[in-house]
Amino acid sequence: MSRGTLVLLRLNEGVFVEALRSEITPDKRSAWRDVDFALLNLHDEPVFSSEGPSDREAALERSYEEEFPAWRLIVYKKPASELMSIGRRRAALQYILLGFSLLALLVGTFTLFGGLNKERHTVKMKSNFLSAVSHELKTPLTAIRMFAEMLATGRQAQEEKRQQYAHRIGEEAERLQGMIEGILNYTRLEEKPDALRFRDVDLSTVAGETATLLSGAFAQAGIRLTVQLAPTAPLRADYDALRSVAQNLLENALKYSRPHTEVTLEVLDFPREAVLRVADQGIGIPTSEQKRIFERFYRAGDEMTRKARGSGLGLALVKKIVDAHRGAIKVNSKVNEGTEMIITFPKETAAHAPDTRG
Over residues 65-118, the pLDDT tens digits come to 555 555 555 555 556 566 567 777 888 888 888 888 888 888 888 888 877 777
Over residues 267-306, the pLDDT tens digits come to 999 988 999 999 999 999 998 888 888 886 666 654 544 4
Considering the entire predicted model, what is its pTM? 0.56
Measured over the CA atoms of residue 34, residue 37, residue 41 and residue 46, the dihedral's sign is negative
Longest Cα separation, the chain? 132
The CATH code of the domain at 195-351 is 3.30.565.10
Judge whether residue 26 has pLDDT over 60. Answer: no
pLDDT score recorded for residue 207:
95
The CATH code of the domain at 101-191 is 1.10.287.130
pLDDT score recorded for residue 40:
62
Summarize the confidence of residues 222-226 as an average pLDDT.
96
Residue extents of the structural domains in the chain: 6-78, 101-191, 195-351
Beta strands in the chain (DSSP E): 6-10, 15-19, 37-40, 46-49, 72-76, 199-201, 224-229, 235-237, 262-269, 273-279, 328-334, 338-346
Averaged confidence pLDDT in the chain: 74
Which amino acid is residue 252, in one-letter code? N
Choose among 341, 348, 339: nearest CA to 318: 341
